[in-house]
Amino acid sequence: MIRLEKVKTDPVETLKRHAEAIGEAVRQAIKPDRITVEYPRERRKYPECFRGFIVFDKEKCISCFRCAQICPANAIQMEYFENAYPGIDYAKCIFCHFCVDSCPTGALNTSKVHDVAFKAMEEMRLSTKQIAKLPEIVREEIQTVEYYVDRNTWKLVRKKELDSLEVPPKPVKVKERKASCIEPESCIGCRLCANVCPQNAIKVERLKATEEGGTGYILKVQTEQCTGCGLCVRQCPMQILRLEEVGE
């Protein structure tokens, strides 16, 4: 059996510690030496390149699957409606924004929203319709805070203004590209390119037997249907498909 003894306290020492705490609070109020943002009453102003929640523009998407393929966390799943569009699982997303950077048309764009609450893990998997707009935002801050730090001084600058959480999309100059077979004689007729094409723009036909008894294949790309997504190029085992720029 262990007997616990009552801890004796020194009233003078206790009063001294309370006085020190109160003195520190007064000193910080008069001349603070710490940087503290009083969130959520204040919000730090984030740079335009801040990696927050991702917003999707369906009209710009060409269903190239690049976002899903480049995602290192496997957080993007393609959903099929009239075409294939991305959905994002924020339980997996690491906010690297590789998907945003690799999107050739600017269909994916960043925002400054980062503090979103979910009631359950299942709700963190957002569909295409859900990422087409920012989640509902409840703003409690009344001012924006910016840091200014150099070798000699530091300070917080508080401004009675609200920083926009939505980043305007950057203009993306898209060069039109189409798939092309550079060595048709090397085609083995596997049809992997045709099977993976989301636009059904590739046809592989078997040629008639020649007098020598050999057969071959001919690959045709319907350029008016091709969106230049590059899936066929990555899938071709013979590496005879290329994306070539068209027009000016």
Dump pLDDT digits (tens) for 212-222: 555 678 888 88
Answer yes or no: pTM beyond 0.85: no
- In whole angstroms, what is the distance from residue 203 CA to residue 180 CA? 12
Residues 2-30: b if buried by 16+ CB within 10 A, e if exposed: eeeeeeeeeeeeeeeeeeeeeeeeeeeee
Rg (CA), the chain: 30
Please state which CATH number belongs to domain 42-159.
Answer: 3.30.70.3270
Indicate the SS3 state at residue 18.
Answer: helix
pLDDT of residue 170: 66
Residue 73 gets which letter from DSSP? T
pLDDT of residue 57: 92
pLDDT in tens, 58-107: 988 888 888 988 899 999 999 887 788 999 999 999 999 999 988 888 89
Q: Which fold has domain 177-245?
A: Alpha-Beta Plaits (3.30.70)
Q: Are domains 42-159 and 177-245 of this chain identical in fold?
A: yes
The domain limits of the chain are: 42-159, 177-245
pLDDT of residue 99: 92
First-last CA distance in the chain: 90
Mean pLDDT by groups of 10 residues along the chain of 248 residues: 75 90 87 77 85 91 85 92 88 93 88 89 92 86 82 79 77 74 86 87 78 69 84 87 78
